[in-house]
Amino acid sequence: MARKEFTYKGLKINELKALDLSEFIKLVPARQRRTLQRGFTDCQKKLLEKVRKTSAGKYKKPIKTHARDMIVLPEMVGLTIYVYNGKKFAMIVVQPEMVGHYFGEFAFTRNNVKHSAPGVGATKSSSAASVK
């Protein structure tokens, strides 16, 4: 079965990439639209500059950023971006389905708790076993 091609508000990814920022802003939901209309912070401007250089082939290093509040734009699709989660940089491969979302949604700040065996002194039997 063929995979359905991604569309955002009726536009394919190639058509989205052809839009300029002011046209893309009209397509996103209200919260993202207000954020983009307000303009980019210095950190977001650096990220956009690196993305554009990487697309042109002038920037070879991995793209790392602290801008968790940056909205995924169509020009970022296909790139690998490392987003800081408070401890390390989480690798994000930008998919078409991520357009319009924030980077922070994909770089989790908390890990799932993985329990193993109980530690010494956790139960009554473990303290009795250690004393002979």
Q: Which residue has the higher pLDDT, 2 or 101?
A: 101
pLDDT digits (tens, 9 = 90+) for 49-60: 999 999 999 999
> CATH number of the domain at 7-111, please?
3.30.860.10
pTM over 0.85: no
Domain map of the chain by residue range?
Answer: 7-111
Q: Which residue has the higher pLDDT, 115 or 28?
A: 28
In a 13 Å sphere around the CA of 40, the CA atoms on its Cβ side amount to 15
DSSP run (H or E) holding 82: strand 80-84
CB atoms within 10 A of CB 65: 21
Helix (H, G, I), strand (E, B) or coil at 22: helix
pLDDT band with cut points at 50, 70 and 90 for residue 1: confident
pLDDT digits (tens, 9 = 90+) for 59-99: 999 999 999 999 999 999 999 999 999 999 999 999 999 99
- How far apart CA 96 and CA 75 sit, in angstroms, is 10
- How far apart CA 96 and CA 12 sit, in angstroms, is 9
